[in-house]
Amino acid sequence: MADEIVYIIENQIATLTVNRPEARNALNWAAQEQFAEWVTAVSQNPHIRVLIITGAGRQAFIAGGDLKELSGHPEPKAGARLNQTMRDALQQLTELPIPTIAAINGDAFGGGCEILTACDLRIAAHHARFSFAQVKNALTTGWGGTARLVRLLGQSRALELLLTARLLTAVEAQQIGLVHRVVEDGEDWDTAVTTWAHELCQLPGPTLAALKQLTYAAAHLPLAETNRLETELFVHLWSHPDHLEAMAAFVEKRAPVFKA
């Protein structure tokens, strides 16, 4: 049987692809466990500069949990397993010190929307649709999606999406801030995604990590603590070789070359 998750590394860019197009890339037990294992692998590989998460094909990004498999497990321990495996994997995903990109190649429903909220940057194909559809299955979010959605969009917008399961187009998702970029039908999808990833690879890794840490901290820390963290990170980076290279490049009127 083919791997439920396909994982490759090329030019310091890792791509994790949910490989179940026949099931709209829904995550069965095996796929959930493989997803978690590969996120851990990324966290342990210092050579990776960017992680892309996507789905196989062009129909669906990720359709959440595999309801056909999960419907046969009504026992509470199955719900606990479903909650814990992906909740912990997505928490680890948000804590990676590298930029993560959700490449939303098709529809993202339910848990698929929770996964994309755990990524730093989100790019969507024009035909993609979005729905926090958990309420239609008489469930709340289970993978940390509510807290992340509130931080991304605010309480009022998050409530509307969660309570109504409203279907959003890619353009609507971009308008409310759920998606950063939309790739039009005439554009090359793979090129758009990899170009963004390569652009990030050219930037100084330690600085990207510091900015991620600071930005996520600012969402929940008091202002004074956020400012203290900012000072700590700024002073640390001031004498870093990447900053010295940036200053030298400015004086010499050339593009900086940062170390991998």
pLDDT for residue 168 is more than 50: yes
**Higher-confidence position of 166 and 259:** 166
Among 185, 201, 217, give the residue marking a domain's end. 201
29 within some domain: yes
Residues 111 and 187 in one domain: yes
**Is 59 found in the same domain as 144?**
yes
Tell me what pLDDT residue 156 has: 98
Which is more confident, 86 or 68? 86
183 and 226 share a domain? no
How many domains, the chain? 2
In a domain, 21, yes or no: yes
Q: Would the pLDDT of 213 be above 60?
A: yes
Mean pLDDT, the chain, rounded, equals 94
Residue 258 lies in a domain: no
SS3 16: strand
C-alpha to C-alpha distances, 60 to 107, 143, 144, 179, nearest whole angstrom: 4, 19, 21, 16
Are residues 38 and 59 both part of a single domain?
A: yes
Q: Do 244 and 192 share a structural domain?
A: no
Residues 74 and 34 in one domain: yes
Task: Supply the range of the domain harboring residue 236.
Answer: 205-251
On the CB side of 219, CA atoms within 13 Å amount to: 13
Q: Does 256 fall in a domain? A: no
> Are 16 and 139 in a shared domain?
yes
Does 123 lie in the same domain as 217?
A: no
Measure the CA–CA gap between 198 and 216, rounded to whole angstroms.
Answer: 23
In a domain, 259, yes or no: no
Flag whether 74 is in a domain: yes
Mean pLDDT within 131-152:
95
Report pLDDT for 260: 62
Do 212 and 195 lie in one domain? The reply is no
**CATH no. for residue 125?**
3.90.226.10
pLDDT at residue 1 tops 50: no
Average pLDDT over residues 97-126: 97
User: Do 110 and 237 fall within a single domain?
Assistant: no
**Claim to verify: residue 133 and residue 234 sit in the same structural domain:** no
Q: What is the reported pLDDT for 22?
A: 93
Bridge partners of residue 168, in order along the sequence: 130
Cα 253 from Cα 34, distance rounded (Å): 47
Report the percent of the chain where pLDDT is more than 90: 88
Length of the chain, please? 260
Residue 44 lies in a domain: yes
> According to the model, what pLDDT value does residue 21 have?
94
Q: How far apart (Å, rounded) are the C-alpha atoms in residues 27 and 158?
A: 24
Per-residue DSSP letter, 95: T
- Rounded mean pLDDT of 126-147? 96
pLDDT of 95 above 70: yes
pLDDT, tens digit, 9 for 90 and up, residues 63-80: 987 777 776 777 888 778
pLDDT tens readout for residues 31-55: 999 999 999 999 999 999 999 999 9
Residue 257 lies in a domain: no
Q: What share of residues in the chain are helix, strand, coil (percent, to 5)?
A: 50, 15, 30
Whether residue 122 sits in one domain with residue 56: yes
pLDDT at residue 2 is higher than 70: no
| Structure confidence at residue 183 as a pLDDT band (50, 70, 90) | very high
